[in-house]
Chains A and B, each alone.
Chain A
Amino acid sequence: DAGVIQSPRHEVTEMGQEVTLRCKPISGHDYLFWYRQTMMRGLELLIYFNNNVPIDDSGMPEDRFSAKMPNASFSTLKIQPSEPRDSAVYFCASRASGAYNEQFFGPGTRLTVL
Chain B
Amino acid sequence: SQQGEEDPQALSIQEGENATMNCSYKTSINNLQWYRQNSGRGLVHLILIRSNEREKHSGRLRVTLDTSKKSSSLLITASRAADTASYFCATVTGANSKLTFGKGITLSVRP
Contacts and interface: CB of A to CB of B under 8 A. Distances in A.
- Is this pair of chains taken from one and the same complex? yes
B99 A103 contact: yes
Interface in B70-101: 88, 92, 95, 97-101
Interface string B25-43: 0000011010000000111
B30 A99 contact: yes
Given A42-B2, A42-B104, A43-B88, A102 B45 contact: yes
Interface in B2-55: 2, 30-31, 33, 41-45, 48, 50
Contacts of B110: none
B48 A102 contact: yes
Nearest to A105: B42
10 contacts: A4-B42, A43-B101, A50-B97, A99-B95, A99-B97, A102-B33, A103-B45, A105-B42, A105-B43, A105-B44
B61 to A, nearest CB: 14
Contacts of A103: 43, 45, 99
A56 B101 CA distance: 16
A50 B96 CA distance: 12
Contacts of A19: none
Contact of B99 (A45, A100, A104, A107): A45
A104 B33 CA distance: 12
Interface in A91-113: 91, 93, 99-100, 102-108
A33 B45 CA distance: 15
A55 interface: yes
A42 B92 contact: no
B101 A48 contact: no
A24 B102 CA distance: 26
Given A102-B33, A103-B99, 14 more contacts: A42-B104, A43-B101, A43-B104, A45-B99, A48-B98, A55-B97, A99-B92, A100-B50, A103-B43, A103-B45, A104-B45, A105-B42, A107-B41, A108-B41
